[in-house]
Structures are given as C-alpha cells and as structure tokens.
Structure 1
Amino acid sequence: MLQILIPLISGVFLLATPENEWMSLFGKYIKDWIVVRDKEILLLYSQGESSFYLRRHILVWIKPIAAWGSLVVALTIVMACISVILRRRWTEQEKLSYPIIQLPLEMSHTDFWQNRLMWLGFALAGGIDVINGLHFLYPSVPGIGGKLYDIAPFFTEKPWNAIGWTPVALFPYAVGMAFFIPLDLSFSCWFFYIFWKVERIAAASIGFRNLPGFPYLDRQASGAYLGLFAVAMWGSRRYLADVVRKVIRGETEKQGEPVSYRIAFILGGAAFIYILLFCLRAGMSLWVAVAFFALYFALSTAITRMRAELGSPVHDLHFSGPDMILTTALPTRSFSPYDLTAISFFHFFNRAYRGHPMPHQLEGFKLAERSGMNVRRLFFAIIIAGTLGFFASAWGYLDAAYRYSGKTGYAWRAFSRLESWLTAPRPSDIPATAAIVVGFGSTLLLYWMRMRFFWFPFHPAGFAVSNSWSINLFWFSIFVSWLIKYLILKHGGIKTHRKLIPFFLGLILGEFVVGGFWTLRGVLFKTPTYKFLF
C-alpha cells in the first residue's frame, strides 16, 4: 500500500504542470489534510540527497500520514471482524483446508525436518537457484530456466497475434504450492487461462472494432469475484442468520472465538462508520462511499474465501476494483468531482489485491487454532501489528525517499484517469457492464453445475483467478503440478500422494530460502542480484 500511497499524495502536485492543468482542473477538490502541498519539500522528496529528519519535513508529512494511517487501521479492523464472524463457519463447519498454511504448520513439527523427501525437494529447488544465482554473477556458468519465455512472438499473423503476452516459465516453488491446490481448481486455473486467450483471439477474428475493450476480460473477472462472494454468502446464510440472532439476544458463543460476535459487530461497525466519516470529510457523497466500500469488502471476502478453501496462489485483480466497477456501470456525471477525486486517492489499496491482508488474518486464526495459540490475543495483535506496520513502513519509505529520491509514477495513472473523467464525462459503458454481469452469471452457473453433477471438472474460482495478471507467471507451473498430481493419484493413489507431500513442501522451502539468500546478498552488498521469480 505505502509504495503507492505516498507517491499519490506527493505525485499529484509534482506531476501537475501548466500544460496538463491538473491544479485548475481538480486541485480545488483535494483536501489539504490528506496531501502535502509544499512544492519545495516535495522536490526534495523527488530528487533525494536530502534528509527526512528535518523538523519542517516531519511536520508537513505527519498530518497526511496520520490521516491515511487511520483509514488503513479502520480497514484492518473491519476485515478482522469479518474474519471473526466467518471463521467458525468456514473453519469448523465447512472444514476448509487452508492449503497456504501447510508449510509453516509442518515446519513446527520435528518429523518434517527429518524427512528425506523434504530435503530432496529442498535440494532440487535450492540447487536450481544456486546455479541461476551464480549464472547471474558469472555468465559463463550455465543457467537452468528461471526466466519468462514469451511465446507471443511466434504468433505474428491475425487473429493469432491477439493472444498477447503469454510467458512460459517453470518455478519450483509454484509447482510445490499448486500441488496443495485441489485438482479441479489447478485444472481450472490453466484451462481458463487458455480459455481467456482463445476468447481474445476469437474477438479479434470476429472484429469488434466498435468495442475496443472487447471481450472486457477485467470486467468479467470483477463479476466473477462478486459471484464467488454471492456463492459464499448464500452457502453461509443460515449460519449468518444464527450469528445475527445471537448478537441481538446477547447469547454467548462457544469457546475459541477471538472475540464475541457482538464485539465483532460493534467494533467492525464503528470502524466502518469511521471510514464513511473519513470519506465525507474528504468530500465524497455518502451513497458513493457506502457503495464503494460495500464492493471493496465483498471482493475482500471473496478473495479470503478462495484462499481458505483452495489456496489460490494469485488473486491480484488488477484495475478491477470498486473504482472501475462503479465508473463502468454508472455515468461519470453521477459522481461529483469530490467523489471522483477521493476515489482516485483510494487507488493505493485498489490498484491490485495480490497482497491483500484479509486472507492472512483468517489463515492466522486457523494457524492459531491448530497450534493452540490464544486467538483472542492474536486478534488484537493483528490490529496492533497493522497499525505499527503502516507507520513504520511510512517512516522507512520517507527516509529512503529523501536520501535516494521518491517515486511519483503511481500517481500518473490515477490522476490521468481522473483528468479524463472530469474533462470527458462518459455515459454508462453498457458492453463492459454486461461483461461484469456475464462474469457474475458464469460463476453462478459453474457453481450450480458443480452442485448438480459431481463429475463437473470446472471450478468457479479457477474462472475468476485465471484472468489475473500474475497467472501469466504461474499458469505453466500450475499445469505441470496438476499433471504430476493427476498421474500420482491415478497410478499411486492417495497413499502415494500423502507420502510425497514433504517433497513438494521442500520445493517451496528450498526456493524461498536460497532465493531469500540472494536477495539479502544484494541488499547487503548493494549490488544487482538474481531474482528467483522472474
């Protein structure tokens, strides 16, 4: 968040010029308490070779950092309270598998470190990274993969060139992580990735020139995630009704909850009201603020459910959040300039959702349950850690920015979009809105088919995540992992599958340990180094 937020609250003035007329266009709609307007201080931030530890610099930055920090803390509290309310349903009643926590959980057991298959996987993944790291430093040493190989240049003629960027890469840790994804989801991830590519080629073949965004893949993904939320809430409807009844009657819950449902409702409700008050003070209309954050928390809950159930390795949902949903479905004239300006500042937590905190919160509660930790203390630790983490990160970012120069690039996309909204108001984008509905309906259809026919191979979550930007990096690794797992289950059965689990955990651990070593080496020696991802 911070790497985008600080460039937003500084870059809007640094990038403003007489030519783009940003200040005359929307400068008056920006409240002073959420930004830094002092151009001299901002130039030092941008140029570097200065110090953050000057009284004038600190005083200018305290107010906006504190304001945005309070919003982030409120968001953290609401998400933690939603996790508390849904925890028992998803963890104890539905018994979701939480694949992401398997490695840290196993690492707490002595047997894990004594397993030869784990060390074999560790050596394989770590060895590849050792060789590739040496290849980076000494090119005469041959490398082993570790790169993205784009196959798009092989498709030069129409309509095949519409396939776009299609990298092929094999990452050991991704193969290991995908091994713990249910077979139907891993199949759906790579299948629907290819499906999206075919859809792009088909659109180019048909030639919808009057619909430049067709087939609106980002909008379909937004609808798909909202469909996942609807499915999750429908499946939990009786449980949620019971929770509401307990809150109203003041009934006590079973032991083991981080906080009582009543406290979760009160604390989460108070935090949500604070968010709305923050928006109102920033100039937003109440209905826009409610709609925006209702969509945001719906997407957050869908991502959390998907991680808890399926352990999806990607869920970035680039440029498909509530800011784009609202301005697609409604005419931009429906929003005041204050609404659109505030929405542009919210770009820092809506640009992408790949590092979303809410799935980690629920996974933390699951780890606490499995390890016997005090979940009540963990609940408050999450909120405290989120608060301290925000302000510590802001401090570290500004310290580095004033020494080495700070970024402003993230502000360009957000405020160029705001400029277009204000100078060229658009009506509702009917085709793009229809794509959102299609994505939503497709998810419901896939879910219904899975409930109706036990053999149905397509998972609705795979339909949603397969259009993420990050899936470009991992689709081939997921395919390889799916193929390995399929062959193991077909020819070796569940017993062989369980026996090989430590090997795939070793792949994950080995790549991250050795990859982390190369990263630390680069930091300590201040030199370029090998990156194991790409």
Structure 2
Amino acid sequence: MLGVAFLCELNILFSIWSLYLVGLVAQYGMTRVGFSIGLTGQEAKPPDIIGLFIHGVMIGLAIWSVWTARGHLANVWREARRGKSVSTAIVTPRTALWLLIGGSLFLIFWLSAVGYSLILAASWVILFWTSLFLIMKFLAASGFAYLFPNWGTSIPVIWAGTSRMSEATLVASRVVNWRLLAGWRLPVALPHVARLLGARLKARTIYSAVLLGLAIAGLYTVWLCYLDGGATFRTWSLVGAPRGVYNGIAKAVSETSARTVTDPAKIFVWFLGIGAAALTTILQARASWWPFHPVGLLLMFDGYVRLYVLDIFLIWGAKAAILRLGGITLYERVKPGVYGLIVGYAAAVGLSFLVDLIWFPTGGHYIHGY
C-alpha cells in the first residue's frame, strides 16, 4: 500500500485523508445528536444517510465523467458502426458494444426471472454499470485497491417505496447482492492487465485466462464442499451471510406494516451528494487553488480508508517534502525504491504461498489481507 500510494498524485492523497477526517467528524456529530431524516416510521439513521449521500456522489461523478468523455465516446460509437479495429483495445469497439448490450439484456431478464419487475431490473443494471464504470476510473486514478462498487440498492426504495413492490421483487432485492455477483471484480482489473501485456496483448489470452480461472475455482470449490462440507468451513460468507439474507427476506415479506413509501428527504440527500460531486469536480477543474480531488469525496466515509489513513497521511507528507526539497529530480531518484517495495511485497506473499503449499497444505498462514 505504501509503494502504490507514493505513486499517487499529491492532491488525491491529501483529499483521501483530509476528507476522511471530515467524514469522521460529520458521522460522529450525527450519531451524537441522534440525527435522522425521513418520514415517520421509515427514518434513515446516520449510516443510511451516509450511504445515500455517497451514492449521490458516485452518480454525480459518473455523469461528469461521461460528459467530459463525450468526444471519445462519439469516436468509439463511430468506430463501432464502421467495424473499425483498435490495436490497443482488448476487443474491437463493435464487439464491446455488442457485449455491453448482450450482457445488459441478459442481466435484465435474469433479474426479472429472479423476481424483479422489468423497470426495476433495468434500473438495477444501469446502477450496476454506473458503479463499475466509476470504480474502474478512480481505481486507475488513485491506485487504492479497496474501492468497491456501490450498487445503490436503496435508491429504488427511496423513489418508489417498498409498498409498491411485489413480494417477488422484495425477495429478489435481498437475494441479488454484490457477493452473489462476484464477477464484478473482473472488469476493474482488465485495463491493468492490458497495460501489463502492452502491445503483445491478445484477446484470446484474456478469454483463456478468465475461463481457465473460472473452471479451476469452480471445480476446487465443489471439491472442497464435497470433501469437508460447506458448513464446516465456519466462515461468515458460508454461514452468517446466508442466515442474514434469509432473515432479511422473511422480515421484508412478513412485516407488511414496515413497508415504505416515497421519501422526499432521502431523495434530497441523494441529490445533495450529486451536487457536492458536481461542485467539487468543477472547482477541481477550474480553480487552481482548490485542494480536493473528487475521489476523496467518494471515500470520505469508506471503512477501508480507516485501515490505511495513517499510511496515506505519512506518504502524503513524505512525498510533499521530497517534491518541495528536491523537486522532480529527487522524486525520480526515489521511485525505484518505491517500485522495490511493491515488487518485494508481492514476491514475499507469493513465496509465503509456496511455503504453505509445500509444508502446510492443510493449515496455511494468514499472510495478506486488509
């Protein structure tokens, strides 16, 4: 983390740790005074308010990103219509367009089969792609590996309310979640894979690696479950999470008195997030004195930042001092050591894995994590 953070822009590092502190103060203040919003009987507590605000920020940043990339998107559209191939792309623009359309239609009809209405299924897919798009963009900008998509599952609820949803939709909204759709991690990684392979990139290399990885992971998981039994792993994802999902479904279906309606106050908070993202982005683009980057706004309430905020602060201070005292010359001299930190850590994790595989195949050790 230290090595990757050092390569990040100073204003991004500053924005992450400073706005995270602002978020802590805001969250503490709301919790301390018992602040809540919403209609009687369906009030949103501070964690829910934060979730709505951050999702609004995400939507605002996505809209701005699409607007600023409108020229590029127009070129991609023209290339897709003409069937033109781009040497640096994993697939041709036309193939990418058809994959996007086909994947979206598959998701919509799959969600409909699970229980969603077609309108809510289409809304879910739009929020799904928006979240993935933004995470890919800011992961590339910040290098912060623990950026996770915000699916915005509560957004249809604040607009329509659960009272207008069928029981099938209520069940589906709790069954379909980010843990079920684990494949969302793949698109985020593909641009980085493409950069690593460079000019030698071949589409079949990506396809073959993905299919091989899926096959091995699936077969290994089934083998483990047959060998030891899935419940014997006693992990939260196999024991606690399914129980929580089931209890949530039972509560949503049985407690009809707890159904919600359209909530203007929650919608206002969502739009407030969009406005904050727009203001931050415009100032960052137009005012040279503005110190905050939009990614800091996106992460100001992120739980994973809590684990690394001190590291980010120290790296920001060290990089700022290096640039001020020695300029770009000293910075370039320090960079090889930073690359060494990254490569050394990855090599140490890989070596530890091999040691566990050879000498501790049934036990292993916790080496890398959050």
Task: Tell me whether the two structures share a fold, i.e. TM-score over 0.5.
Answer: yes
- Retained in 2: the 8 A contact 1:187–1:479? yes
Q: Indicate whether 1:411 and 2:242 are aligned.
A: yes
Q: How much has 1:278 moved relative to structure 2?
A: 1.9
Distance 1:274 1:466 in 2: 34
Match of 1:428 among 262, 283, 286: 262
Partner of 1:187: 14
Question: SS of the residue aligned with 1:312?
Answer: coil
* 1:83 aligned partner: none
Name which of 93, 98, 105 aligns with 1:273.
Answer: 105
The Cα of 1:446 is off from its aligned counterpart by 0.5
After TM superposition, the structure 1 = structure 2 runs for residues 238-277 of structure 1, keeping only pairs within 5 Å, are 238-248=71-81, 250-277=82-109
The Cα offsets for residues 434-474 of structure 1, whole Å up to 9 and x where unpaired, read as 33222222111110001110221100011102322211111
Q: What does residue range 509-524 of structure 1 map to in structure 2 within 5 Å?
A: 509-518=343-352, 521=355, 524=359
Q: Which runs of 5+ in 2 are unaligned?
A: 38-42
Residue among 344, 347, 364 paired with 2:193: 364
| 2:53/2:270 contact within 8 Å kept | yes
Of Structure 1 and Structure 2, which has the larger fraction of its residues in helix?
2
Deviation at 1:267, TM superposition (A): 2.8
* Among candidates 301, 314, 323, match of residue 146 of structure 2: 314
Aligned to 1:326: 156
Q: 2:314 aligns with which of 475, 480, 489?
A: 480
TM-score normalized with structure 2 length: 0.85
CA distance in 1, matches of 2:132, 2:208: 20
CA distance in 1, matches of 2:230, 2:129: 37
Name the structure 1 match of 2:278.
444
Q: Is the 8 A contact 1:178 1:313 kept in 2?
A: no
**Counterparts of 2:106 and 2:217 in 1: how far apart (Å)?**
18
Rate the CA distance shift 1:379–1:509 in 2: closer, same or farther, 3 A.
closer
Question: 1:326: Cα distance to partner?
Answer: 2.2
Q: Which residue of structure 1 lines up, in the alignment, with residue 57 of structure 2?
A: 224
The letter for the 2-side match of 1:223 is G
SS in 2 for 1:316: coil
2:68 to 231, 235, 240: 235
Q: Residues 253-283 of structure 1: CA distance to partner in whole angstroms, max 9, x if unpaired?
A: 4433332222222233223222222223323
Q: How many residues are paired up?
A: 355
User: Residues of 1 paired with 2:90 and 2:226: CA distance?
Assistant: 36
After superposing on structure 2, the runs of 4+ consecutive aligned residues of structure 1 that deviate more than 6 Å are 350-353
Larger deviation, residues 374-383 vs 344-353: 344-353
Aligned residue number for residue 27 of structure 2: 200
- Structure 2 counterpart of 1:289, from 114, 121, 127: 121
Taking the aligned partners of 2:223 and 2:24, their CA distance within structure 1 comes to 41
Amino acid at match of 1:409: G
CA displacement 1:194-214 (0-9 Å, x = unmatched): 011110233245542675613
- What is aligned with 1:492? 326
Report the 3-state secondary structure (helix = DSSP H, G, I; strand = E; otherwise coil) of the residue aligned with 1:408: helix
Within 5 Å, which residues of 2 pair with 1:23-422?
A: 174-204=1-31, 206-208=33-35, 213-214=45-46, 216-248=49-81, 250-316=82-148, 320-349=150-179, 356-369=185-198, 372-381=199-208, 383-385=210-212, 387-388=214-215, 391-392=218-219, 394-399=221-226, 401-402=228-229, 405-406=232-233, 407-422=238-253
* Higher-Rg member (1/2): 1
Distance 1:346 1:306 in 2: 25
Per-residue CA shift, 1:172-194, capped at 9, x if unaligned?
xx221210111111111111110
Q: Specify the code of the residue in structure 1 equivalent to 2:128.
A: Y
Distance 1:271 1:209, change over 3 A: closer
TM-superposed CA distance for 1:331, in Å, is 0.2
Instruction: Please state how far the C-alpha of 1:433 moved relative to its aligned partner.
Output: 3.1
Establish whether residue 505 from structure 1 lines up as the match of residue 335 from structure 2: no
